[in-house]
Amino acid sequence: MSTRIKIGIVGAKFAGEFHGDMWKTMHNADIYAIADLDEKTRTAYKGKYSVGKDYDTYQKMLSDPDIDVIDICLPNFLHAEVAIAAMEAGKHVICEKPMATTIEDAEKVATVQKKTGRIYFYAEDWIFAPALVRAKEIIDEGGIGTLLYCKGKETHNGSHSPFAQTIKFCGGGAVVHLGIHAATFFYDLFGMPDSIVGVCTDGLDGNFVHKKMEGEDWGIGILTYTNGPRVLIEANYITTGGMDDIVEFYGTEGVLKVDMTFGNPLTVYSRNGFKYAVEKADTTKGWTKPAVNEHESLGYKDEMKHFLDCVEGSSAQQPGTTAETGLNALKIIHTLYQSNKEKKAVDL
Ligand SMILES: NC(=O)c1ccc[n+]([C@@H]2O[C@H](COP(=O)([O-])OP(=O)(O)OC[C@H]3O[C@@H](n4cnc5c(N)ncnc54)[C@H](O)[C@@H]3O)[C@@H](O)[C@H]2O)c1
């Protein structure tokens, strides 16, 4: 491998851009190429990020021997296919959540990772979000005693991506898209729960707001750990005012609350409005709490830095980023869906 790590991004739109913003801050990596079906997207991306090479298919990009890493920012249904092809082509992989749309596909990714020995890095940013890392330190020190109950949610007003409307393309609705952050975070803390109760809206006309979306626009899951806390995860697309990421811990000796998206020191009142406040906020007029270093506080920067350290061999991969974690997080989500369908608790 050359001294600077060469990244090939597949999918150059929303996630491709925030990954691009973060790769640009790394001292040891460059965005070497992008692949996207859409020519306009490729042209815009190349201009914005000064990328030299572009491909219309990921297959063409995989045959470029100079690329070290494939960064998958594609719609969910392509995650497994591209991860498998990339590892078989000798590339390391960093992949956006979820690992796949089906458990079978996620298992195939895990098998190919073992067979090829390539790094498969499941990119769950909550594992690296600085406030959550600090929260974990305080909990591990015994600061709030024994944990009794934890809550984690990500909610906003709906995905911008056309692929998010169709279950075939994304594997579900708000729960697989947003709830998987909390599912992965709590899996990393506590392992697999013993049982799950899930309740979701029914999709289409059965949704609260998003009547054209096949997946649910609201869902919760209660995860029971026989020898640990009760955990509530929540996801919805019915939240106005910007993306709301909240994690709370209730212990025998204290309480710990993390507000990942609005918990910053900046408060603005604006009559005129301004360009941007926080992800998915639809206005910047009136009182707002604009994000400060949004990508860093959500964990993307430390996530990508850790991935590059793993590729360079200077760091061992954190458990919360492995193929096994991606697979088990997806199992939690699918069990929540099963419980909702069967209207009963499901044991794991
Ligand atoms: N970690 C997070 O918080 C977070 C946030 C947003 C999105 N994501 C994830 O990122 C992924 C992408 O989401 P997005 O919002 O950027 O989607 P998007 O729809 O904005 O972009 C997807 C891009 O992929 C391209 N594409 C589709 N099929 C392709 C193919 N076969 N070959 C090449 N390019 C193809 C499209 O042209 C588009 O440019 C999703 O899996 C989503 O779950 C994660």
Q: What is the CATH number of the domain that holds 93?
A: 3.40.50.720
> Atom 25 (ligand 1): residue with closest C-alpha?
11
Q: Which of 26, 28, 30, 24 is nearest to 7 (CA)?
A: 30
CA of 158 to the centre of ligand 1 (A): 14
Q: Is 78 in the pocket of ligand 1 (CB under 6 A)?
A: yes
Tell me: do 333 and 252 sit in the same domain.
yes
- Give the separation between CA 334 and CA 58, rounded to whole angstroms: 28
Q: Which residues contact 67 (CB under 8 A, 6 or more apart)?
A: 6, 7, 8, 32, 33, 61, 91
Q: Is 41 in the pocket of ligand 1 (CB under 6 A)?
A: yes
Range of the domain at 179: 127-299+329-347
- Looking at residue 164, the DSSP 8-state letter turns out to be G
**Domains in the chain: how many in total?**
2
In a domain, 239, yes or no: yes
Tell me: do 88 and 109 sit in the same domain.
yes
Tell me: do 72 and 221 sit in the same domain.
no
Q: What is the mean pLDDT of each run of 10 residues along the chain (348 residues)?
A: 87 98 97 98 98 97 97 98 98 98 98 98 98 98 98 97 96 98 98 98 98 98 96 98 98 98 96 97 96 96 98 98 98 98 97
Tell me: do 83 and 143 sit in the same domain.
no
* Ligand 1 atom at minimum distance from 38 CA: 37
To test the pocket of ligand 1, the residue of 18, 19, 37 to mutate (highest count of ligand atoms within 8 Å of its CB) is: 37
In a domain, 91, yes or no: yes
Tell me: do 73 and 167 sit in the same domain.
no
Q: What is the pLDDT of residue 3?
A: 84
Tell me: do 223 and 117 sit in the same domain.
no
Tell me the CA end-to-end span of the chain in Å, nearest whole number. 42
Tell me: do 198 and 69 sit in the same domain.
no
Tell me: do 31 and 137 sit in the same domain.
no
Q: Is 184 in the pocket of ligand 1 (CB under 6 A)?
A: no
* Ligand 1 atom at minimum distance from 15 CA: 16
CA of 73 to the centre of ligand 1 (A): 5
To test the pocket of ligand 1, the residue of 73, 124, 176, 303 to mutate (highest count of ligand atoms within 8 Å of its CB) is: 73
Q: Is 166 in the pocket of ligand 1 (CB under 6 A)?
A: no
**E strands along 241-340, which residues?**
244-251, 254-259, 268-270, 286-288
Tell me: do 224 and 257 sit in the same domain.
yes
* Ligand 1 atom at minimum distance from 97 CA: 43
Q: Is 12 in the pocket of ligand 1 (CB under 6 A)?
A: yes
In a domain, 221, yes or no: yes
> Atom 4 (ligand 1): residue with closest C-alpha?
15
In a domain, 316, yes or no: no
> Atom 15 (ligand 1): residue with closest C-alpha?
14
> Atom 43 (ligand 1): residue with closest C-alpha?
97
Give long-range contacts, CB 8 A cutoff, 24+ apart: 218-221. 218/174, 219/173, 219/174, 219/175, 219/179, 219/336, 219/340, 221/175, 221/179, 221/183, 221/196, 221/197, 221/332, 221/336, 221/339
Q: What is the pLDDT of residue 310?
A: 98
Q: What is the pLDDT of residue 100?
A: 98
CA of 14 to the centre of ligand 1 (A): 6
CA of 254 to the centre of ligand 1 (A): 40
Which residue, of 68, 101, 123, is where some domain finishes? 123
Q: Which of 298-330 are b and which e, b meaning 16 or more Cβ less than 10 Å from the residue's Cβ?
A: bbbbbbbbbbbebbeeeeebbebbbbbbbbbbb
Q: Is 223 in the pocket of ligand 1 (CB under 6 A)?
A: no
In a domain, 318, yes or no: no
**What CATH number has the domain bearing residue 211?**
3.30.360.10
Q: Is 71 in the pocket of ligand 1 (CB under 6 A)?
A: no
Put residue 75 in one of left, alpha, beta given phi > 0 → left and psi -120 to 50 → alpha: beta
In a domain, 304, yes or no: no
Indicate the pTM of the whole model: 0.97
> Atom 6 (ligand 1): residue with closest C-alpha?
15
Which residue, of 94, 123, 152, is where some domain finishes? 123
For 219, the enclosing helix (H) or strand (E) is strand 218-224
In a domain, 22, yes or no: yes
Tell me: do 214 and 233 sit in the same domain.
yes
Structure tokens at 216: 């649910």
Which residue, of 103, 123, 143, is where some domain finishes? 123
Tell me: do 97 and 137 sit in the same domain.
no
Tell me: do 163 and 246 sit in the same domain.
yes
